[in-house]
Structure 1
Amino acid sequence: MESATETTAADDRPQTPAPSEGARSRLRRRVLVGVLGGCLVLGGVLLFLPVLPGEQPARRPAPPGPAPGAQAHAAVRTGVAAALPDLVSLIDERETHLRKHPRDAQSWAVLGAAYVEQGRRTADAVRYPRAERALRTSLDVRPRGNAEALDGLAALANARRDFPAARDWAEAARELAPKRWTTYPLLIDAYTGLGDYKKARAALDTLMKLHSGPAVLGRAAAVYWEQGWREDAAAALSDAAAGASTPAEEAAWRERAGQLAWERGDLRTALRHFQQAVHLDPDQRAAQAGRGRTLAALGRSSEALSAYQAALAGQPLPQYVLELGELYESLRMTQKARVQYDLLRERVRLDTAGGVDQELLLGQFEADHGDPQTAVRRLRAEWRRQPGIAVADALGWALHRAGQDKEALKFAAIATDRAKGGGVRSAPYSYHLGMIEFGLKRYGPARRHLQEALRINPHFSPLHVPRARAALTQLGEPAMKDVPS
């Protein structure tokens, strides 16, 4: 309870009139300006304070990256590898959009290209008919000036190994937009598949004038390798991997670098590249298959089998099935090899239903594990349709296995003669040529080419390397009369 004195003192104080509404607003503004000014001063002081030893300077948060669908869109548009989850996001986005906007030609083209990439990464040929429908719908909606859809159809044809169609679609796109750089990698693939290496090199020259970056370097590496420029190819892939914008893209270039190292017999480098690729992108199944190939050559058979099985779990390509079957066969696990060969025929059947041309692989398989005469028939037809050096080599080997060594020599020479396009240094190609020459009793050239095969890559095949060594043992050392004075 207050005393009388305190009450009187309070009543005797002068009374301040209450401020008006305008005065209160001015007062609030002055307080706010003062607070902000103090914050700015404090911020400036903190900005220039030295960082004490052991302390980390504060970092601004990184700006958010593009959405997964946008990343995949950029990858698909430029022809580089996209992460599989990002592809799924892109496909979902475009399908949802097209249900509401079915006249969007560009979105149909993007959807078709995404289906192509998804089919390629998963070896699911069912995606290819979907891709074709989407791309043709894009052309129906916008029949003129639609270079995106033409590029997509060229990419689809390359994925199906239909190189004449790929060339036609890509040339139509180039005629429509000659400075559109993304068309030229498609032309390079088509021309290479058709054995037209001069046009492939000309397309690369144009591409390098129009654009630069990892996608161009990766394509240049493939052309350099075909021409036998191994160091240039390896350097281009190294630069492509260093400039990659996503882990999936870098993983794809690392896998290619591993493949080049494998093909020149550098197992340690190949294994390092393959492992880096798998670490960057666990869905990089080509790198898993590369690990299997390399581990088998290093004698680590159990790990090699596991790597192949991991590759086939996500990308059941018939080529990987064949490699695994041959590995089982080399380990004398005959029944398991037969299971893989039966699976290969089933995978080829599914691919064929999706429009994929697997005649080259079937010819190679029949030559070594089936009916060589059937292989010859298949590969003759393939040679007439798209005469690349891979088909020349396979046809020459099938003719040898069928007992027709004189004709076989002609095709083996095409695959290995630089003047005829066979500039690539390939251990299997040299081995095939050497064995054909051995069958023709041309012992000097046979010895030279078999030695060359083992010098290029002494681990090129778990089945054929022992046969090459056995043939060289049978040939023995060259006679002194064969040595030039």
Structure 2
Amino acid sequence: MDNQQCVGTSLISEPPAPRRSRRVLRRVLVAALAGGFLAGGVLVLLPEEPQRRPGPVRSPAAGPQAAPQARQEALTAVTYGVPAALPGLTALIGREEQRVRERPKDARAWAVLGSAYVERGRRAGDAADFPKAERALRTSLEVRGGRNTEALDGLTALALARRDFPAAKSYGEQALKAAPKRWSAYPPLIDAYTGLGDYKKARAALDTLMGLRTGPDERPAVRARAAAVYRDRGWREDAVAQLTDAAAAARAPAEQAAWLAGVGQLAWERGDLPDALRHFEAALRLDPDQRTAAVGRARTLAAQGRTAQALTAYRAVVAHRPDPEDLLELGELYESLDQPRPAEEQYARLREAVRRSVAGGVDEELLIGRFEADHGDPWEAVERLREEWRRQPGTEVADALGWALHRTGEDQEALTYATAATDESKGGGVRSALYAFHRGVIEAELERYGPARRYLEEALRINPYFSPLRVPVAREALQALGDESEEPPPSE
């Protein structure tokens, strides 16, 4: 994620000369910052237990039976590896805390408790739950080693929530080895392989997962996992189809809300604002705690020009335990509205949120690197992101490192990483307007004007609303580059 400050934009007003110098293009293109709006969620798989299958989708319970019912639904969600409602998770945690006090040698209770902490921390954006989750899960392993797949699943989910993909791979492969026929062992491994840039293994794991026999309760989660892989490969229509089917087959409101929010995110990424808003609002009606849907709705309102509503929606999202990336988006919106003081207030809150997140064990090097590249020390950004690339070389890191190198003037090396983020043959199959924008700017700085024009056009073609700060820069840069290219865009 990104901690970001304001960078001014210097644009030329007169038509550019046929041959442009690097200095002119730098003035046009070195404008606004880079950051990430992709919010894609990680499917968290939690311990298995022979348990009652969930019933049809229904509204959260009310009345005297609300807490037991919500707790039971949370346990069922934990069992089947699907999103759970926050009230139910809190009730489940209370019950399991009482159980481990009464039965400190109950390995399964410790595993359920730890896994519920992971899911609550992930859903609420509160990394303070993660150390408690780790203690509970490791206690479960100490009490019962061997084939303790519940604890290994929980540790895999915890590592993914912390963006520690090497640890997630290690725990996930241990869990798979202990029980190779379990479908729930594969989705977290797919996430781990993707975070490590091992797309071949990620696709192989998905193929195995899709070939396993799964029941109707598990199938929506499998479809959602397939959608994430298809998105990363640039197969948007397939991703939408899988998530739409998952939402239709969901058995609980929080689960359905998560998949609808995913459909909304895919609609946002292709610039379909009405469809994105419709899905985000449908998700929030089912589950008001759906953070992805809440911030997606705010982002979409801003893109529609409904600024007052967007600001209100963003403020509601960041009012309690704000996620750093949400604060970044709100800060950038203020910046695009020429309101530097409230923008800086959000960036200050972002720094504090990052500190809390890091204290909970989350790897925030990607976010810090992005922030430093545009609003702090770009050389520090390069140093941080080089280390992150050595540890877990995924597409997000490639894009961020390439941009940081550009900010330090190392454009030739920057192009190597920008290519890795945008070239399907090198793993960068996802169609990202931000990645295309970054590559277009880097190509222009290297006086590769044809590719620069094509990638900047592609950024606006993918999503003409992808950033309130960057879209105007992309348009001005294209104007400076002159006539449109006759060559097809990169995606074609």
CA offsets per residue over residues 29-81 of structure 1, 9 Å max, x none? Answer: xxxxxxxxxxxxxxxxxxxxxxxxxxxxxxxxxxx998222211121222211
CA offsets per residue over residues 145-192 of structure 1, 9 Å max, x none? Answer: 101100100000000000000000000000111011111111011011
SS of the residue 2:447 aligns to: coil
In structure 1, the residue matched to 2:329 is: 323
In structure 2, the residue matched to 1:398 is: 404
The reply on whether 1:165 has 2:167 as its aligned counterpart is: yes
Q: How far apart, in 1, do the equivalents of 2:296 and 2:484 lie? A: 36
CA offsets per residue over residues 205-243 of structure 1, 9 Å max, x none? Answer: 111222251100000000000001000000000000001
Pairwise CA distance, 1:97: 1.3
Pairwise CA distance, 1:313: 2.6
What one-letter code is carried by the residue in structure 2 that aligns with 1:270?
Answer: A
Map 1:334-483; keep pairs closer than 5 Å: 334-477=340-483
Aligned residue pairs: how many? 419
Q: How far apart, in 1, do the equivalents of 2:114 and 2:457 lie? A: 47
Q: Which moved more, 1:456-465 or 1:72-81?
A: 72-81
Q: How far apart, in 2, do the equivalents of 1:453 and 1:169 lie? A: 37
In structure 1, the residue matched to 2:62 is: none
Question: Residues 480, 199 of structure 1: CA spacing in aligned structure 2 closer, same or farther, 3 A cutoff?
Answer: closer
Q: How far apart, in 1, do the equivalents of 2:361 and 2:334 lie? A: 30
Per the normalisation by structure 2, the TM-score is 0.83
In structure 2, the residue matched to 1:96 is: 98
What one-letter code is carried by the residue in structure 1 that aligns with 2:279?
Answer: H
SS of the residue 1:67 aligns to: helix
Please tell me whether the aligned partners of residues 81 and 184 of structure 2 are also in contact (alpha carbons under 8 angstroms).
yes
CA offsets per residue over residues 11-46 of structure 1, 9 Å max, x none? Answer: xxxxxxxxxxxxxxxxxxxxxxxxxxxxxxxxxxxx
Please tell me whether the aligned partners of residues 367 and 401 of structure 1 are also in contact (alpha carbons under 8 angstroms).
yes
Provide structure 2 residue ranges, at least 5 long, that are not aligned to the other structure. 1-64
Please tell me whether the aligned partners of residues 147 and 176 of structure 1 are also in contact (alpha carbons under 8 angstroms).
yes
In structure 1, the residue matched to 2:187 is: 185
Larger Rg computed on CA atoms: 1
In structure 2, the residue matched to 1:206 is: 208
In structure 1, the residue matched to 2:117 is: 115
Question: Residues 237, 480 of structure 1: CA spacing in aligned structure 2 closer, same or farther, 3 A cutoff?
Answer: closer
Q: How far apart, in 2, do the equivalents of 1:257 and 1:91 lie? A: 30
What one-letter code is carried by the residue in structure 2 that aligns with 1:194?
Answer: L
Please tell me whether the aligned partners of residues 214 and 239 of structure 1 are also in contact (alpha carbons under 8 angstroms).
yes
What one-letter code is carried by the residue in structure 2 that aligns with 1:455?
Answer: R
The reply on whether 1:224 has 2:226 as its aligned counterpart is: no
In structure 1, the residue matched to 2:4 is: none
Q: How far apart, in 1, do the equivalents of 2:391 and 2:421 lie? A: 17
Q: How far apart, in 2, do the equivalents of 1:229 and 1:161 lie? A: 24
Q: Which moved more, 1:329-338 or 1:303-312?
A: 303-312
The reply on whether 1:84 has 2:81 as its aligned counterpart is: no
What one-letter code is carried by the residue in structure 2 that aligns with 1:167?
Answer: K
Q: How far apart, in 2, do the equivalents of 1:230 and 1:378 lie? A: 32
In structure 1, the residue matched to 2:138 is: 136
Please tell me whether the aligned partners of residues 453 and 485 of structure 2 are also in contact (alpha carbons under 8 angstroms).
no
Q: By percentage of residues, which structure has more helix?
A: 1
From 292, 308, 319, the counterpart of 1:313: 319
Please tell me whether the aligned partners of residues 117 and 129 of structure 2 are also in contact (alpha carbons under 8 angstroms).
yes
Question: Residues 298, 109 of structure 1: CA spacing in aligned structure 2 closer, same or farther, 3 A cutoff?
Answer: same
Map 1:233-312; keep pairs closer than 5 Å: 233-312=239-318
Pairwise CA distance, 1:480: 9.2
Q: Which moved more, 1:369-378 or 1:214-223?
A: 369-378
Pairwise CA distance, 1:369: 1.9
Q: How far apart, in 1, do the equivalents of 2:388 and 2:348 lie? A: 23
Map 1:64-75; keep pairs closer than 5 Å: 67-75=69-77
Q: How far apart, in 1, do the equivalents of 2:260 and 2:319 lie? A: 21
What one-letter code is carried by the residue in structure 2 that aligns with 1:370?
Answer: G
Query: What is the percent sequence identity of the aligned residues?
Result: 64
Please tell me whether the aligned partners of residues 454 and 485 of structure 2 are also in contact (alpha carbons under 8 angstroms).
no
Per the normalisation by structure 1, the TM-score is 0.84
Larger RCO: 1 or 2 (CA < 8 Å, sep 6+): 2
Q: How far apart, in 2, do the equivalents of 1:481 and 1:102 lie? A: 67
Provide structure 1 residue ranges, at least 5 long, that are not aligned to the other structure. 1-63
SS of the residue 1:182 aligns to: helix
Q: Which moved more, 1:147-156 or 1:310-319?
A: 310-319
SS of the residue 2:319 aligns to: helix
